[in-house]
Amino acid sequence: MSKTKLLLDVVSDLRSLADSIQAVCNAMTSEDVSPSDEKPSEQKAAPAEHPKPTVTIEQIRSVLAKKSQAGKTAEVRELLGKFGATKLSEIPQDSYPELLRATEAL
């Protein structure tokens, strides 16, 4: 892989990271409610079900890197191709759990 291609991948990943950070900031500022603004009934209300644990791109990247270092680079590329991508950042976030399971099975 050429240095230019690697740099382009890094730039793409940094843009993805910046988008993720912006989304977190937006979520934090939009949900920022002071305790005096909340109604007493809202303070006691608990969610009915626990949210599903989410799989992050960093978790998948870590597992993919370990598999690649273990000599399974071709299998990793093939797996990304099954998800219609040439790199991890092209895979939609809703496919992360399935991709993580498939990666761990390599």
> Is position 44 within any domain?
no
> Is position 46 within any domain?
no
Q: What pLDDT tens digit does each residue of the chain (106 aa) get?
A: 688 888 888 888 888 888 788 778 777 877 655 555 555 555 555 555 656 668 888 888 999 899 889 998 899 899 889 989 888 889 888 888 998 899 888 8
N- to C-terminal Cα distance for the chain? 23
Query: What range defines the domain where residue 5 resides?
Result: 1-31
Q: Which pLDDT value is given to residue 16?
A: 81
Q: Which pLDDT value is given to residue 23?
A: 77
Assess whether 96 and 61 both reside in one domain.
yes
Q: Which pLDDT value is given to residue 44?
A: 56
Assess whether 106 and 65 both reside in one domain.
yes
The Cβ of residue 75 has, within 10 Å, a number of other Cβ atoms equal to 14
Residue 6 and residue 73: Cα distance in Å, rounded?
16
> Is position 71 within any domain?
yes
Residue 99 and residue 82: Cα distance in Å, rounded?
10
Total domain count, the chain = 2
> Is position 13 within any domain?
yes
> Is position 47 within any domain?
no
Q: Which pLDDT value is given to residue 48?
A: 58
